[in-house]
Amino acid sequence: MAIIRYSYPNRGLTTYGVSRNPWRGLETEIDRLFDSALSFTGPSATTQFPVDIYEDKDNTFVRAELPGVSREDVTVELVEDSLTITAVRRQKTGEAEQSLSLKRSLTLPTLVQADKVSAAYENGVLTVTLPKREEAKP
């Protein structure tokens, strides 16, 4: 859905002689939200999900909220400097079962020790702990 035309009072907001639309950022954000909400087009659609990445001096952490996903349906894969999280959310409606595939790939900002990576999934929140290599620590 795109907002095509609307009117608003112009209160003289200009920048270097060009009128500035105070609603432009809001319109873009609304369009983005509708596009992402309507992207589910069937039982096999794949969609991304938000993640938080933060770090301390020894580790990099990736946190993803995956409500409604069971532990058995979550896969975490680390290949070189790329982390891929895949999950499947299953929902039964009557006799039919719908599933939604969720996938997110991230390029990691620092070098990690691949043999010491750990993941915990608790109450719909996945936390992946990626220990930094010694040369990547401050």
How many residues would you count in the chain? 138
Which pLDDT band holds residue 96 (cuts at 50, 70, 90)?
confident
Fold designation for 46-136: Immunoglobulin-like (2.60.40)
**pTM exceeds 0.85 for this model:** no
The larger pLDDT score, comparing residue 69 to residue 11, is at: 69
- Distance, CA of 137 to CA of 131 (rounded, Å): 10
* DSSP letter assigned to residue 132: B
